[in-house]
Structure 1
Amino acid sequence: MDRLLRRAPDAEWVLMYRLGLSRKRIAALVCAEPNTVGYHLAIARRQDPGLEAEHQAADPAPHPSPKDLARMEVIIAWVSAEGRLPQDRACDRGERSMARWLSGRRREAAAGTLDAAYRNGLAQVPGWQENRRKSEDEARWHRRLDQLVAYREEGHDWPRHHDYDSEREHTLGVWIHTQRYKHRRGELDSVKFRLLDDAVPGWQTGRTRGRPRRPFLRSGGAKTGLVDTL
């Protein structure tokens, strides 16, 4: 009641509204009735025609509702059970929805508007703020390494990035050529360097000019011995 008796509009409430807080949110923060806050804000809008535009432009991240927080807990439990973050291209609709939710929180964190409740809760999810493209690039790198290991185990020589026999060889040839180039420039991550050394020894040298391709067995058992040079 004291607020109603004081001259309206209340300067504190007007400032909060100007910063983007809703009437209900302001009422909850100052322990007042929403109608009381609305009364003050109505007068403030009449006195300052630009107030509403400033309120709309501020558009702060909404305070999480109990439903929002419950959604976060479901996602945290899912990540804990699956051992990975949800993917936005997954076949499962629920997983795609969780990935989009996390993407929204990631944008808020980058903009500095992530609510403390989300920040504290998501602290239980390692790596949730990592850039999605960076994560996908890392996954692709390890996938290419596995593919190169399989390619070599089949008896093939090192894949070429030109004069290749198949798209598979071309893809792997470009990839390993890039790793060699980065290594020569000192740009290859030390962990990746060790992984390459352990998984595919000799990757730095590759083919020797004029050396014939190693024979390998096709699925029918016939041996081939094509000669190829870089």
Structure 2
Amino acid sequence: MARWLTGRRREATEGALLPAYRDGLAHVPGWDGDPRAAADEARWHDRRAQLVAFRAEGNDWPRHHHYASDREHTLGVWIHAQRQKHRRGELDPAMIKLLNDTVPGWQTGRTRGRPSRQ
């Protein structure tokens, strides 16, 4: 069934979906959506929320190398990827704004060397 539906999605995108299929599938909510893209976006928002919680606990920016826990590693890899996408101009402006609003300083992260004394 999934393979068949994938074929109909492709046909709809190409403008080649038969009217009988189009009319029948119109009764199925979300049939023409991209479930993988929706799952990726949900995962992005989940990781952002996890990062907000991680920082709220008083932790420094998560590391993707020399990490102390699996949680820190997961978040470190994720924020590193967001920084790389931002530098290449591939990060959606809405996501940049959301990161700026919820985790200020995300673009710079940790400073090299020892933490500053306060």
Fold match by TM threshold 0.5 = yes
Partner of 1:121, secondary structure, is: coil
- 2:26 corresponds, among 87, 102, 120, to 120
Please say which structure displays the higher CA radius of gyration: 1
After superposition, the Cα gap between the structure-2 partners of 1:183 and 1:116, relative to the gap in structure 1 and judged at 3 Å, is: closer
Task: Quote how far apart the aligned CAs of 1:115 are.
Answer: 1.3
Partner of 1:182, secondary structure, is: helix
The C-alpha deviation readout for 1:75-105, integer Å capped at 9, x for no partner, is: xxxxxxxxxxxxxxxxxxxxxxxxx67x754
Equivalent position of 1:172 in the other structure: 75
- 2:55 corresponds, among 152, 171, 192, to 152
Asked if 1:163 is matched to 2:63, the reply is no
The C-alpha deviation readout for 1:162-188, integer Å capped at 9, x for no partner, is: 011111100000000000011111111
Task: Quote how far apart the aligned CAs of 1:130 are.
Answer: 2.1
- 1-structure distance, mates of 2:31, 2:79: 30
Equivalent position of 1:191 in the other structure: 94
Give unpaired runs (5+ residues) of structure 1: 1-99, 214-230
Equivalent position of 1:64 in the other structure: none
Where do 1:77-96 residues align within 5 Å?
Answer: none
- 2-structure distance, mates of 1:137, 1:116: 26
Asked if 1:109 is matched to 2:109, the reply is no
- 2-structure distance, mates of 1:211, 1:118: 63
What is the letter of the counterpart of residue 99 of structure 2?
Answer: L
- 2-structure distance, mates of 1:208, 1:137: 30
After superposition, the Cα gap between the structure-2 partners of 1:128 and 1:197, relative to the gap in structure 1 and judged at 3 Å, is: farther
- 1-structure distance, mates of 2:40, 2:64: 20
Number of aligned residue pairs:
111
Task: Quote how far apart the aligned CAs of 1:194 are.
Answer: 0.5
The C-alpha deviation readout for 1:147-203, integer Å capped at 9, x for no partner, is: 000000000000000011111100000000000011111111001000100110000
Task: Quote how far apart the aligned CAs of 1:134 are.
Answer: 1.4
Per the normalisation by structure 1, the TM-score is 0.44
Asked if 1:131 is matched to 2:34, the reply is yes
Per the normalisation by structure 2, the TM-score is 0.81
Moved over 3 A (4+): 103-107
Give unpaired runs (5+ residues) of structure 2: 12-16
Could you tell me the percent identity over the aligned residues?
A: 55
Equivalent position of 1:61 in the other structure: none
- 1-structure distance, mates of 2:27, 2:33: 16
- 1:181 corresponds, among 78, 84, 88, to 84
